[in-house]
Structure 1
Amino acid sequence: MVGKLMPKRVLLIRPSALGDVCRTVPVLTSLARAWPEATLGWVVQDGFEDAIRCHEDLDEVLTFPRKALAKWATRPQVLMRSLGWMRSLRKGRWDCVIDCQGLMRSALMTRATGAALRVGDRQAREGAWLAYNHRVDTTGAVHTVDRMLELLKPLQIDPVKDMQLKVPPEAKSSWSSRRSELGLNGSYFVLAATTRWPSKAWPADHWVEWARSVGGMTDGGLVLLGSPTERATVESLATRLTNEAGMTVHNLAGETSVGEMMAVIESARLTLANDTAALHMAVGLGGRCVGLFGPTDPDVVGPYGLRERVVHVSPPPGVNYRDARLGDRCMRMIPVEQVVECTRQVWDETQLDAVAQVNA
């Protein structure tokens, strides 16, 4: 324990990935409740700042230009820019820094701030723990969110498990205009059917079969999300959903900023996703979601506080989702019937919530 503190300036370091940025928000909220007078900052990868910049508890956003500094090891000019960016962190005069990433890069950022109090996970990888002067044992927690909240223990801060995200106003306006252009007037479901790792993706034929069963639950059809590199894959799925399931489909893969993606999810009747960023966004934007998990453990990385909204098939022992040889073998074992049932359950629950809000 470091005793009761009232630091004036506190910095969170969690640059990436996008889903991890979204589920780090409870750490920010906990700090704000404990130290309401403190200035709270966050180091986040450029392009991801929309996920957090409008949160009422956040005062400063420091964007990390990851792509611009990616080749620092082979290009002297990039190395010099990287060192310059690291040195700029010291100008913030941070009293306390909490590294929620726990990797070498985030640890270097932590050390570069010059903060007197540097907190991180004792088990942080890549030697990152060497940058901290307060190392926390987080092994008592299971879920990633709880492990990050454990970092607050030496600061004697009670955790506030609030996952709520704030959509940038201009993103809401942009989506409202785009929705009118698309003629999307009714309720719709969001599908985030692609992932960086193919082993975490539910097969396209399963999505088609699912759509045949739930199509009558939405009068606006489906909105498909994805990255620019996933555009062709998503377009192929969109074609099948239209031709084989008779669904109205809007493919927005590669067409939305992070803020616009949040706006699309916030307005959706329901979001269905593999283990990907869209799912963790949905948790913070109303919790109307269904998550599909195979080789990754939902008890560790699933939608926080919404374990009952997960359909999961346990993989064989020793399976690693990064193994390209795995393919979609695990995800293919998730029965369509279970996903349909979970979809109906969440739809019914949120329908009751919507009625209650109208009658309130």
Structure 2
Amino acid sequence: MRILIVKTSSLGDVIHNLPVVSDIRRQFPAATVDWCVEESFAAIPRLHPGVDRIIPVAIRRWRKKLFQSATWREIGACRAALRRGGYDKVIDTQGLVKSAIVARWAKAPLAGYAADAAREPLAARFYDERFSVATDLHAVVRNRQLAAVALAYPLSGEPDYGIAVAGGAFDWLPATPYVVFLTATSRDDKLWPEDNWLALGRQLYELGYCAVLPGGNSVERERANRLAAGIPGAVAAPPMSIPELASLLAGGRAAIGVDTGLTHLAVALKIPTVALYTATDPGLTGVLGSGFFRNLGGKAQLPTAAAVLAELQVALA
């Protein structure tokens, strides 16, 4: 059996889809499982040993250069690669029009959410098989349920993200045990106040842990440097790729993160994780896994540094 999963973006959504691969592998050990994903997130499914081939798309980049011939050559090459897959079933767990269109390029039986369950109901018109999955379930559970009904297997057990990464031996890391602070997110209203990060970092230092603060773009790295300067023993990490960040997380004693994909990656790696929510409800898209994890806060709620430390002390014990 040859199966294609279409989950293109974003980082957290892609991570939420990893348990689907584990489920399929348990049910069909000899199956070929490929994954179509945005090029910028391709490193995530590559972490799962159950994924055979990654077919990258670049919808975000193509949209900006739609009238360039190079863009259409890339689109043609992607369509050809998907058609060559010879898939027995394609499953679009994204539920968007753009993902449904890409999934159709494979020229294979296509399954997806019914209109009452898809994020964009119009996407359901592209599917050969449509399945209603309750919208009040966590995103991880919805992905797993869709794949299970599309491939007719029973769903059971906790989500298994299926990834394991060795802790990296970075020469800039301190010798002391460290906790990763994931301070950056896509929206300012999702940020946790810097005073809270400073207070938490200082308290952890007193307990024998240093804070390591990664940052992606220049604004995020400036924040990381600013916070590290105010926390004894803290380190602002240099620019890192997703695989390097995974190794950093894997070597940490714990992670604290705002509403961002890397916080979900920490949980997927079974690192004790406390997720902080200030503008969104974690009920449907909060961190979820099989190790130690906590979702704190919510819409118009602000977790305190004391509350975070109390949860961390449970995990670090």
Fold shared per TM-score above 0.5:
yes
CA distance in 2, matches of 1:206, 1:54: 33
Q: Does 1:223 align with 2:215?
A: no
- Give the Cα separation in 2 of the matches to 1:312 and 1:166: 26
CA contact (8 A) 1:290 1:346 kept: no
One-letter code aligned to 2:200: W
> 2:36 and 2:235 mapped to 1: Cα distance?
34
Change (3 A) 1:198 1:131: same
Give 2:144's aligned residue: 149
Tell me which amino acid in the other structure corresponds to 2:214. Answer: L
When residues 52 and 77 of structure 1 are mapped into structure 2, their CA distance, relative to the original with a 3 A threshold, is closer
Counterpart CA distance in 1 for 2:222 and 2:270 is 30
SS in 2 for 1:295: coil
RMSD over aligned Cα, in angstroms? Answer: 2.2
SS at match of 1:303: coil
Q: Which amino acid letter does the alignment assign opposite residue 197 of structure 1?
A: R
Distance in 2, Cα, partners of 1:306 & 1:40: 23
Aligned counterpart, 1:282: 266
Distance 1:183 1:153 in 2: 45
1:303 Cα deviation after fit: 1.2
Instruction: Report which of the two structures shows the higher radius of gyration computed on alpha carbons.
Output: 1
Q: 2:227 — aligned with what?
A: 237
- Give unmatched runs, 5+ long, in structure 1: 1-7, 242-246, 316-329, 349-360
**Matched-pair contact (CA < 8 Å) for 2:7–2:94:** yes
Structure 2 unpaired stretches of 5+: none
SS of 1:182's equivalent in the other structure is: coil
Q: In structure 1, what is the Cα distance between the partners aligned to 2:67 and 2:119? A: 23
Aligned mate of 1:264, from 241, 245, 248: 248
CA distance in 2, matches of 1:283, 1:191: 14
SS at match of 2:95: coil
- In the alignment, which residue of structure 2 is the partner of 1:58? 51
Q: Which residue of structure 2 lines up, in the alignment, with residue 351 of structure 1?
A: none
- Equivalent of 1:339, from 301, 305, 308? 308
Match of 1:119 among 108, 111, 116: 111
State the TM-score, normalizing by the size of structure 2: 0.90
Equivalent residue in structure 1 for 2:233, among 248, 255, 261: 248
Question: Hey, what does 1:293 align to over in structure 2?
Answer: 277
Identity of aligned residues (%): 26
User: For residues 304 and 48 of structure 1, do their structure 2 counterparts lie closer, same or farther at Cα, with a shift above 3 Å needed?
Assistant: same
Whole-angstrom distance in 2 between the partners of 1:17 and 1:81 = 21
Aligned residues: 310
Cα 1:166–1:305 shift into 2, 3 Å? closer
What does residue 39 of structure 2 align with? 46
> 2:82 pairs with 72, 76, 89, which one?
89
TM-score (normalised: structure 1): 0.79
Q: Is the 8 A contact 1:222 1:249 kept in 2?
A: yes
1:71 maps to what in 2?
64
For residues 146-167 of structure 1, the C-alpha deviation after alignment (integer angstroms, 9 at most, x for no partner) is: 1111212242222352123233
